[in-house]
Amino acid sequence: MTGSHYRDEPTTVSRYSAAARVNHWVTAASLILLALSGLALFHPSLFFLTGLFGGGEYTRIIHPWIGLVLLVSFAGLFLRFWRLNLWERTDNVWLGRVRAVLAGREEELPEVGKYNAGQKLVFWGMSILIIVLFVSGVGIWRSQYPFLRETLGIVIPIDQQRLAVLVHALAAIGAILIWIVHVYAALWVKGTVRAMMRGSVTGGWAWRHHRRWLREEVGARTPRRPAE
Amino acid sequence: MATLQSLDLQRRSATSGTPPAARKTLEVAKLIDVSKCIGCKACQVACMEWNDLREEVGEVTGVYDNPHDLSPATWTLMRFTEWDNPDTGNLEWLIRKDGCMHCSDPGCLKACPAPGAIVQYSNGIVDFVSENCIGCGYCVKGCPFNIPRISKADNKAYKCTLCSDRVAVGQAPACVKACPTQALVFGSKEDMIAHGEERVADLKSRGYDKAGVYDPAGVGGTHVMYVLHHADKPPIYAGLPLAPKISPLVEMWKGLTKNVGLLGIGFAAVFGFMHYVVNGPNRVSDEDEQAAAKLKGDGT
Ligand code: HEM
Ligand code: SF4
């Protein structure tokens, strides 16, 4: 990926393979459908959302199955990205300067690898919450109780069902909040969405937001170490 | 909104605010006097007859309870207990007619996510409206008495209706009508409490000094009440709860979580929008592009 480039046609850096993008969008679609179908049952004022799924009964039926799709799909993303999301010392510095982040003054931040601390928190937050949502979701999946009993010998006592539904609702709120942060960040930081649509970003985007990653990508040795 | 024109609604599941009732209705109640019950199950049969329910032929579990649990087709069930009274050394045969208690503060109704799938009429009866039920089973989690059952056939929740259809036309519930000993009586809640107190006085005069009316305050009182000879120990009657109330887990789930959760989500969305309005987009500059181009050029 070298060669000549014109001033007004920026260089590009490849960020996501086609498989990673498909994986991402399957996950995104299932998460959004889960949030909509879940919220429909979560609050009376949102019950009208059941109309999107063909009524209350269909909403109740389909939601947990989409949950299974999400679980498998997210597992794919997890395996792809967990290594790059391991916490580093510079992430603490980045977090400590979150005001500069929100103001868009990235020159005050340490050079960032493929993911910044915010993205890593989104990644780990979602990883944990999806597991919690799955376990608590199975705990309230009434139509599968006979299956659980007959295949695994699991009978869920009523108080655990009550706990599960409370935990599920709380975790769902957490996941939706993280989702809002994730989507907002992608929209706010211009040039980000194309990473997941086309698989590439402009060199300038990488320079501005993920400079250490860009240096690694072009194979250049960094002359200066990032401020620590 | 009522399912029966002749009954007004007092509460409706998953509905904020219920319109005021057009009429003033008498609060009704059924009183079950366990000390008068002979365990003949006429009430159980009458319930099946009136509601056209037929339980599948099951298995004997070694006790008189038949079937051995409530089900979508068994809305009331006689539960038999052999209890060794430690004070007298007597073996007592306790018989309790189990079924929906028609709480004033119904946990099922509070838990239900489907608007109008559970209603409470102004006469106190808590009724399921199958048409609106989505079969989630939340009512089962909400109920402190373990009453609702979900049908495998249609995935709808079922339980005793206190014969709301009969009561609406001035009839007593079918079970009450069938009871040969008047262990079951039906009337206004006020009258039933008064009658219960008479029965308690009678039982006390015959040595049951712990006799009492079971009308648990934790659920705001019920519209099915018991006269118990051992009112200090409800659990000996096949596990009748000592102090039933809606589980705090359910209260938390349906209370704070809903409102704070939605508020939080709304707040986050507004915060994001305002951040954009204040700070504008985070754009890549030409200098960034040039620096990247230079780096890439150098790097190869
Ligand atoms: C990961 C697998 C998941 C499973 C197995 C699952 C399962 C369930 C089940 C069984 C219910 C009860 C209603 C019904 O029977 O359909 C439910 C409710 C709900 N789910 Fe999920 N779910 C999952 C993931 C999610 C996710 C990712 C979200 C949100 C982002 C979510 C949000 C909700 C909400 C808000 C409710 C309503 C809770 C309430 O009534 O308070 N679920 N889920
Ligand atoms: S199963 Fe039906 S009645 Fe019970 S909570 Fe769900 S929608 Fe309401």
Can you give the CATH number for the domain in which A127 is found?
Answer: 1.20.950.20
pLDDT at A168: 98
For residues B189 and B223, what is the distance between their CA atoms, to the nearest angstrom? 7
A 62-101 near B (Cβ less than 8 A): none
In chain A, residues with a C-beta closer than 8 Å to the C-beta of B113 are: 41-42, 44, 47, 56
C-alpha distance across the termini of chain B, in Å: 75
Q: For atom 2 of ligand 2, which residue has the closest CA?
A: B133
Catalytic residues of A: 182
pLDDT at B79: 97
CB B175 within 8 A of CB B97: yes
pLDDT at B298: 56
For residues B44 and B179, what is the distance between their CA atoms, to the nearest angstrom? 10
pLDDT at B99: 98
On the 0-12 / 13-18 / 19+ scale of CB atoms within 10 A, B182 is: exposed
In chain B, residues with a C-beta closer than 8 Å to the C-beta of A218 are: 295-296, 298-300
Residue B296 — pLDDT band, cuts 50, 70, 90? confident
Residue B190 — pLDDT band, cuts 50, 70, 90? very high
Does A220 map to a domain?
no
pLDDT at A228: 41
pLDDT at B1: 40
Does A8 map to a domain?
no
CB B223 within 8 A of CB A137: no
For residues A132 and A70, what is the distance between their CA atoms, to the nearest angstrom? 13
Residue B20 — pLDDT band, cuts 50, 70, 90? confident
- Alpha-carbon distances of A72 from A66, A82, A195, B159, rounded to whole Å: 10, 15, 22, 38
pLDDT at B61: 86
Residue type, B211: A
CB B138 within 8 A of CB A142: no
Does A51 map to a domain?
yes
Does A144 map to a domain?
yes
CB B163 within 8 A of CB B2: no
Cα Rg for chain B, rounded, in angstroms?
A: 27
What is the pairing mode between strands B28-33 and B224-228? Answer: parallel
pLDDT at A7: 53
Does A222 map to a domain?
no
- Across residues A189-201, what is the average pLDDT? 96
Q: In angstroms, what is the span from residue A72 Cα to ligand 2's centroid?
A: 29
Each residue's pLDDT tens digit, A60-88: 999 999 999 999 999 999 999 999 999 99
Q: Please state the ipTM of this predicted complex.
A: 0.93
- Number of structural domains, chain A? 1
On the 0-12 / 13-18 / 19+ scale of CB atoms within 10 A, A126 is: buried
In chain A, residues with a C-beta closer than 8 Å to the C-beta of B281 are: 188-190
Each residue's pLDDT tens digit, A104-158: 999 999 999 999 999 999 999 999 999 999 999 999 999 999 999 999 999 999 9
pLDDT at B219: 98
Give the residue numbers spanning the domain of A140: 18-189
CB A11 within 8 A of CB B296: yes
Q: Which residues contact B294 (CB under 8 A, 6 or more apart)?
A: none
| CB pairs A-B closer than 8 Å | 164
For residues B137 and B155, what is the distance between their CA atoms, to the nearest angstrom? 9
Q: How many CB atoms lie within 10 A of CB B154?
A: 12
Distance from CA of A65 to the nearest CA of B (A): 14
pLDDT at B100: 98
